Structures are given as C-alpha cells and as structure tokens.
Amino acid sequence: MPSEPTLGGLLHSQGVSRRAFLKFCSTTASLMALPAGIAPAMAEALASARRPSVIWLSFQECTGCTEALTRSHAPTIENLLFNFVSLDYHHTLQAAAGDAAERALEEAMHANKGKYLVLVDGSIPLMEYCSTVAGHSNKESLEHVCADAAAVINIGTCSAYGGIPMAKPNPTNAVATGDIIKDKPIVNVPGCPPMPLAITGVIAQYLTMGKLPELDHLGRPVAFFGENIHDRCYRRPFYDRGEFAETFDDEGARKGWCLYKLGCKAPIAYNACAHVKWNNGVSFPIQSGHGCIGCSEPRFWDMGGVYDSVAKGNFGDGAKLGAAAIAGAAAGASAAYLARRKKTEIAEGAHGDE
C-alpha cells in the first residue's frame, strides 16, 4: 500500500506529470458529463484527497475484475488511483492472511464507521454453505460489512446482477448484492470484466465531489453506461448497408463487416467499450473481430448462444412446435371426422324416415 498521504504525492512519486494527470482529469470529467471547466478543480481536489478506506469483498467470482483493474500493461493513472485508496481488505491483494486479515477488516470498519466504501465482486449464494470466508457465509459477511458502509460499489456483473454464477441452472442460488442490501446507496459497475476507467471514474467522482454519480435504471453510472455500443460502433455503416460477416474467416470478416449475424449483442448492450476501448484505448472486442457478448447487461449469459444473433428466439429447440402441429392436426381432423359422421347419420336417418 502506498505510503503517500495524498494522491498528488503518490502520483508525483511515481513520476506522473501534472500534464498527464490533468489530461486524465479532463477525460474523466468529460466522460462523466461534468462541466469542462471542472478538470483543474478536479485535479486539485483529487491531488489533495485523503485516502478513503475501501473494503473489497470477493464472493463467487473469478478474480477477472481485479485482474482487469490491476494488470494493465503499464501503470496507468487508473490503477494508481486505485492503488491510492486505502484498500484495507482484499483477499487477492492483501499481504495479511487468516486471522490477521479478518482483524484488519474489523479495524477498518471500526475506524471508518459510516465512511468506508464497500467494493464487491462476485455474486452471493443463497445456499450459504456454497461459499464461506473465515467461517462466515458470503451473505453474513456482506450484511455485516455493509451495515456501517457509506456506499456499496459493485465491481463486475456478478455482484451487480448475479452474472455467470447466477446463469441457468444457478446451482448455488446466487443473487446480486442489491438483492440483499436494501438500505445503502449502490452503484453498479458491471462488465465481465468492467472497464477500469469506469471503476476509477466512480471513485474519482466520489473523491472529488463527495457524491456518487447519476445512475441509469439498472443502477449503472450513466456516464459510462448511457450509450448503446451498437450506436457507437465503427462497423455500424456496414450494418446499415446490410454487409455482414457470415463466418469468422470469410471475406466479410476480413473486410471488417458487421458482426451482427455472428451473434453481436451490442444492439442491446450499454457500455463504454466502443469509445473508451480497452488496454489504454488500443482496441475493443468488436474491433478485434468478435461480437459483443453484452457482458454489462443483467443475465447476459442466458441471452441465447454467444454466436446467435439478437434476432433469434431464445426458447431452445422447436420440438414443442412440431408437437403442436401434430396435436392441432389431430384435433382438427377428428372434429371434422365427427362432423362428417354426424352428417352421414342424419342423412341415413332421413332416408330411413322415407
């Protein structure tokens, strides 16, 4: 953990120029739709910001979210900012283990009562024995730690919406943080993994303005999740012209045509991938030739096959349709047959009367 008391000190000690820092602030400010003139003030506030206490709880997760944030190729301001927070508890990153780690958690909670942020990755199994830490089920830990928190930030789709652990058949009966914690402000930063800039953007805004960002109807910061990826996709002209790659190695794929038919879920996905991009702005999935899998949306894993387009139905095979055709035909034919028989009977009856 860095020893500098302020973010400014830390960045300086890491050789980050003021110019680079200002650039980060103006990018973040513009992404978060804050007024342009706020960048210097933001830089000022951030540079002198004190380290907030952060408790990171990991439940049913794959550590990909932590990896995305901390393993960027070169140290970025994003991960420096993240390093700056006083990460008082994080299974993967903390040095302490066992009782010492749990003690650190209790101390942090006690010392920063009502002020610390809880960052959660991973979903919470309602079959509580499925995931426990230090003898406590995930649900117990979450409820205990959130009780005195200032706010909860869900890192990744699993804690935000249940994610992959909650995908059918959901063997552990997994739920999202928001299904358990009802009385604290919650910010969802979904993604599998989420964009590092979205994580730090939320933290930066909290540090500078002392408040959480504006959220959409799914609890996501509008600044990062307000735009449809399909609307920002550079392959969109191909979509509009109806030029689609049919396979991953056909001529269309080589020419960079739209990936809709290969299952691109971007038309129903909201994230900053298309304009912020990944790995310091190098690329994003669609640019590398693979459709979006809609990882920032609830239940994305159950939205039909990864390679099935959005237009396809999502109800398994057509077996029931075949059965319906047979049942309908049988019912129709027998009704008609009965009517026929009745007609013959009446006709015969009429003849008999003559």
Chain residues binding ligand SF4 by CB under 6 A are 191, 229-230, 233, 235-236, 239, 258-260, 264, 266-267, 269, 271, 273, 284-286, 291-296
Residue type, 117: L
Min. distance of Cβ 299 from another protein in angstroms?
7
Kindly indicate which of the ranges 71-79, 198-206, 280-288, 306-314 contains the residues binding another protein, using the contact rule CB under 8 A: 306-314
Helix (H) or strand (E) holding 187: strand 186-189
Q: Which does 152 bind (CB under 5 to 8 A by kind): ligand SF4, another protein, none?
A: none
Min. distance of Cβ 219 from another protein in angstroms?
14
Tell me whether residue 259 or residue 303 sits nearer to ligand SF4 (CB atom): 259
Report helix, strand or coil for 272.
coil
Structure tokens at 97: 């283990």
Q: Is 70 exposed, middle or buried (0-12, 13-18, 19+ CB in 10 A)?
A: middle
By CB under 8 A, is residue 345 in contact with another protein? no
Min. distance of Cβ 57 from another protein in angstroms?
27
Min. distance of Cβ 31 from ligand SF4 in angstroms?
15
By CB under 8 A, is residue 332 in contact with another protein? yes
By CB under 8 A, is residue 16 in contact with another protein? no
Residue type, 6: T
Between CA 187 and CA 275 the distance in angstroms is: 22
* Strand ranges, E, within 190-228: none
Q: Quick one: which of 126, 209, 268, 306 contacts another protein (CB under 8 A)? A: 268
Between CA 323 and CA 241 the distance in angstroms is: 39
| Residue 118: strand pairing partners | 55, 152
Structure tokens at 84: 């700056």
By CB under 8 A, is residue 129 in contact with another protein? no
As a whole number of Å, the CA-based R_g of the chain is 28
Proportion of the chain in helix, strand, coil states, percent, rounded to 5: 45, 10, 40
By CB under 8 A, is residue 169 in contact with another protein? no
Q: Which does 18 bind (CB under 5 to 8 A by kind): another protein, ligand SF4, none?
A: none
Between CA 147 and CA 113 the distance in angstroms is: 9
Taking residues 89 to 128 in sequence order and writing x for each that binds another protein by CB under 8 A, - otherwise, the string is ----------------------------------------
DSSP structural state of residue 192 = S
Give Cα 116 distance to the centre of its chain: 23
Give Cα 109 distance to the centre of its chain: 27
Q: Which does 201 bind (CB under 5 to 8 A by kind): another protein, ligand SF4, none?
A: none
Q: Quick one: which of 1, 111, 325, 346 contacts another protein (CB under 8 A)? A: 325
Residue type, 328: G
Residues in Cβ contact with 166 at an 8 Å cutoff, skipping those fewer than 6 apart: 123, 158, 174, 175, 176, 299
Q: Quick one: which of 71, 241, 254, 255 contacts another protein (CB under 8 A)? A: 241
Min. distance of Cβ 68 from ligand SF4 in angstroms?
10
Q: Which does 40 bind (CB under 5 to 8 A by kind): ligand SF4, another protein, none?
A: none
Structure tokens at 200: 């730090």
Q: Quick one: which of 318, 345, 346, 348 contacts another protein (CB under 8 A)? A: 318
Applying CB under 8 A, the residues found at the interface with another protein are 228, 230-231, 239-242, 244, 260-261, 267-268, 298-299, 302-304, 308-315, 318, 320-321, 324-329, 331-333, 335-337, 339-340, 343
